Amino acid sequence: MTQAPAVEAQPGGRTDLLFDEAFLRRLEQLELASRRLTAGRMKGERRSTRRGQSVEFADYRNYTAGDDLRQLDWNVYARLERLFIKLFVEEEDVTVHVLVDASRSMDFGEPNKLFFARRAAGALAYLGLAHLDRVSVAFLGDGRADMLRPIRSKARVLEIFRFLASDRDERLTGLAAAARDYASRLRGRGPLLLISDLMDPGYLDALRDLAGTRCQLSVLHVLAPEEVDPHVPADARLVDSETTQPVEVTGDDDLVERYRTRLTEWQAEIGAFVARRGGSYVTVPSDLDLADLLFDVLRRRRVVE
Amino acid sequence: MIAPLALIGLVSLPIIVAFYMLRLRRRDVPVGSTFLWQQLVRDVEANAPWQRLRFSWLLLVQLLIAALAVGAAVRPFVTVESDLAANVVLIIDTSASMGATDAGGPRIAAARAAARRVIGQLPEGGHVTVVAADDSAHVLVSETDDRAAALAAIDGVQATQLPGDLTDAFALASALAARDADSTVVVVSDANADRLPAVGIGAPVVVERVGDTDANQAVAALSLLRRSGGAQLDLFVAVANPSTTDVTRRLEIYADGVLVDARDLTIQAGQRAEALISSVPAAALSVEARLAGEDALAVDDAAFALVPREGAVRTLLVGPGNTYLENALALLPRLELYAVGAAGYADALATAADEGTPYGLIVFDRVVDDPPAGVPALYVGPSGDGPFGEVGALIDGPALARTDPNDAVLRFVDLSTVHIGRARTVTLAEGMRPVVETTREQPLVAVGRVEGRTIGLLSFALSDSDLPLQVAFPLLMSNLTDTLLPTVDGILPPSVALGESIVVDLDPAISRVSLGAAPDGAAEGEAVELDVVGGHLTLPAARVTGVRELRVVSDDAALNGTLLGRTAANLFDPGESKVAPGDPLRIEDMGRVGPANGAASLPARAEWWWPIALAAFALLLLEWFLFHRPTRRAVARLVGRA
């Protein structure tokens, strides 16, 4: 087995993106759940919709000319005098898609949402590589998807980490356009994990396009603690980090209560939308420990197994 | 309106409104995205500098506060008829009883409040003289129409520990009233037993009575005597209860600051309880009797006494014999009396000298001779010249002139009922001073220091007066012997009353002395230094209870700091200890009844800014509450933290 690398990178020059060896070893015990069986191109560790050569029996079918005679079940022929070909489950690789929203709104909060998203994406990508899956990582921003070509070898995980740690200069999300861009260029199916704050008017279009790829969509909805429980001064001008458009508010109990109610409704809307498309929706505060996210939250939501 | 200029403050009203019309300068708060906020906030307006004025409770409250503040600042008033004259003499009693604590707080604070009310009732154009009165009068502000100055003076008034005497204050008020017929004298006092002048004044007197309690007990007497040849001290203590309730108080006795005795005394209302205590160590220097616990007046709960020196003074009475004089001298505990006729005087001196027991005091009754060198002498009814001066003709029926009650020789001595049949004129020697004189300034009683010895003189024979039949006689004899003899602790009398000045004769070599609190009976703080003029020193009156001591201040290191004497100052004033408010009529009767010359009441300004200010303050609190009321979240956070 390839030794798990310790990885260090500079995400936006903030804090080291650092996974220690013990954490990576724990990651290897997890596996991204793929409730839909997919057809890949290379042998991997996942069951494929294709029948192939493995030790796991799948089914029988009638012999037709040209079939490999080694696959004939001679025992059945002895009993029934009919030729049947034994089919085995062929284990194939899948492509794990990890999409990170890199808009300016993600570069906010304490802890920073984008930093959290980079680390979560790195961990999930490593998890895929550890199980011999192909991993595709992309940043969504400014209406396009900045993709790293798919990587299959765990030895190349550093490329993913360096990509995730690279400086980003995206300003607006343009989430719907970026998601459509990624969906159009998508190669290979498998789990698709979107890590975003979804603070974009086109978030539903984006989710619809990503779910339409027939990948197993999982949405990690990242929110900073101050977005979950905001503290607004009495007379404040809230300045949007993406558009710099201000919103003047008078911070009082009523406003905060209405905000919290709206946030809860919004999360419920997204959850329902994703569930209808067979996906998973997980709200993740950016102050959540990464280990808790992977070994507890995502496991309970069956995103990983 | 007293201060119409304050109306300028109304400018603040449109300014407040303008502030509300100006758009708020809001604090920029960066957020990741306003995506959700935009769905919540509907009333986002264009970024204009002005906005439409909308109703706001806060605006209303602030406008009201500003208006009320201006309303109070202009000091509105209504014109009312004043009961006071244009010239007001305001006398504030600051005697010891005003230091009592009533149910409503310190009595002197109530007096200040009453005095302030009087200032508020001054008629227009009126002026006021504020006088603080303890045992004398102190003018704080004189005939001023500046109410602020008068109020400031009133605010500085404090109760003293001195006995009350309104004589000086009324004399002053009388003089002021004589200058202005339209005068009123207002006395703020508890009206309890203050000494009053014999004659009234020509202006109405109004009493603002303060005080409500009578719950006070006092150490009324404290006396120390040596018995059994000086080996034992007897302490006599009397505790008075002038209140209307029987009480039990704990009496504590301290010798040189150490508790030596404590006992409970039950004292019936209006009575005294006495105790004779023999547990005071003979070697003690001073004794303090203290009532434990609290009552209305603290100053009379402690009294101090100095322990007399051991041994009595051998005293020789020379003369034909006088039972009254012999008895009076024999009763004095400090004297060990011997009597001899004029013919035996020389032999008596010789015998005493042989035995080594010289006389410390010679009393010549109708005999004139020289005492031994340095020995004090008292001459009674001298028929010839002596060290005191030259004797002249007889005068019949001399009338006594007014005496100085503060003179130590006349302490507790009332000579008003004494009649003298005849006396001799005396030309006093240098160093002698008259204590009691006739109306023609002939000395009847004199003391002084002549040729290194102290001399006392009664210029009339006791048989020529009814003095020996009066209570004043033994007191006078006691005071005279205290003056002539070195006292218990040096040159000072063992005990003085508060407010009493002392004149002492000192060695001419001493030019400067220091008077301060004794370490074991401290009452006063800093020591004061005094100059000795011509061998005489007038000690300032003690204003607080306690033991004071007099020491030499000199460049000569051997002399500097030498203790000259100690004296204990006590209140011992039944009138002050009886703190129950008295009958104000007793004081009001000192003045004329009714307004001067039938003058009509004058208009006065009754200001009513304070309810406006109070309303403004209440509204300010309301505004504070409206703006800073605790949010539900803050409450939840606090509860969570708890």
Show the tokens assigned to A84.
């049947």
Q: What are A134-174's pLDDT values in tens digits?
A: 899 999 988 889 999 888 888 888 889 889 888 887 777 78
| Range with top average pLDDT, A77-91, A213-227, B76-90 | A213-227
Helix and strand numbers (H, E) in chain B are 13, 33
What's the pLDDT score for residue B593?
61
Question: How far apart are the C-alpha atoms of B186 and B188, rounded to whole Å?
Answer: 6
Minimum CA–CA partner of A226 in chain B: B31
Identify all chain B residues contacting A113, using CB atoms and an 8 Å cutoff. 32
Class of domain B313-484: alpha beta
Q: What are B593-626's pLDDT values in tens digits?
A: 655 444 556 666 777 888 888 898 888 888 787 7
B38 CB near a chain A CB, below 8 Å? Answer: yes
What residue ranges do the domains of chain A occupy?
Answer: 21-38+93-300, 44-92
Question: How far apart are the C-alpha atoms of B415 and B397, rounded to whole Å?
Answer: 15
Q: Cβ B36–A259 below 8 Å, yes or no?
A: yes
Query: Do A120 and A99 contact (CB within 8 A), yes or no?
Result: no
What's the pLDDT score for residue B458?
94
pLDDT lower than 70: segments of chain B: 1, 23-25, 41-52, 82, 193-194, 226-231, 309-311, 486-490, 519-525, 592-604, 627-642
What's the pLDDT score for residue B14?
85
What's the pLDDT score for residue B263?
92
Nearest to B600 by CA among B55, B52, B83: B83
Nearest to A101 by CA among A53, A138, A58: A138
CB-nearest to B631 from A199, A240, A253 is A253
The dotted CATH code for B495-571 is: 2.60.40
The CA-atom distances, in angstroms, between B12 and each of A77, B18, B67, B105, B192 are: 108, 10, 8, 41, 53
Q: Cβ A239–B40 below 8 Å, yes or no?
A: no
DSSP structure string for B15-58: HHHHHHHBPP-PEEEEES--HHHHHH--------SB------HH
What's the pLDDT score for residue A256?
85
Q: How deeply is A28 buried, as exposed, middle or buried, from its count of CB atoms within 10 A (0-12, 13-18, 19+)? A: middle
Query: Do A280 and A274 contact (CB within 8 A), yes or no?
Result: yes
| Helix/strand/coil for B489 | coil
What's the pLDDT score for residue A26?
72
Helix (H) or strand (E) holding B576: helix B574-577
b/e map of B119-155 (b: 16 or more CB within 10 Å)? bebbbeebbbbbbbbbbebbebbeeeeebeebbebbe
ipTM entry? 0.76
What's the pLDDT score for residue B490?
63
More confident residue, B521 or A294: A294
Res. A187 pLDDT band, cuts 50 70 90: confident
CB-nearest to B41 from A226, A249, A253 is A249
pLDDT (average), residues A217-225: 94
Q: Is the pLDDT of residue A7 over 50?
A: no
CATH topology classification for B79-211+580-607: Rossmann fold (3.40.50)
The CA-atom distances, in angstroms, between B198 and each of B224, B365, B545, B626 are: 36, 37, 29, 65
Q: Cβ A241–B632 below 8 Å, yes or no?
A: no
CATH topology classification for B218-309: Immunoglobulin-like (2.60.40)
What's the pLDDT score for residue A284?
92
CB-nearest to B32 from A201, A224, A263 is A224
Nearest-Cα distance to chain A for B99, in Å, is: 53
CATH superfamily membership of A21-38+93-300? von Willebrand factor, type A domain (3.40.50.410)
What's the pLDDT score for residue B459?
93
What's the pLDDT score for residue B632?
57
pLDDT (average), residues A235-258: 83
B631 CB near a chain A CB, below 8 Å? Answer: yes
DSSP annotation of A296? I
What's the pLDDT score for residue A30?
67
Q: Cβ A227–B31 below 8 Å, yes or no?
A: yes
| Helix/strand/coil for A36 | coil
A-B interface: how many C-beta pairs under 8 angstroms?
92
Q: Cβ A262–B29 below 8 Å, yes or no?
A: no
Nearest-Cα distance to chain B for A115, in Å, is: 14
What residue ranges do the domains of chain B occupy?
Answer: 4-76+610-641, 79-211+580-607, 218-309, 313-484, 495-571
Question: How far apart are the C-alpha atoms of B241 and B579, rounded to whole Å?
Answer: 11
Helix (H) or strand (E) holding A268: helix A253-276
What's the pLDDT score for residue A39?
46
Residue A146 makes CB contacts below 8 A (sequence gap 6+) with A102, A138, A139, A140
In this structure, of A38-47, A286-295, B349-358, the range with the lowest mean pLDDT score is A38-47
φ/ψ (deg, to 5) at B307 = -80, 125
Residue A153 makes CB contacts below 8 A (sequence gap 6+) with A129
What's the pLDDT score for residue B47?
47
What's the pLDDT score for residue A246?
85
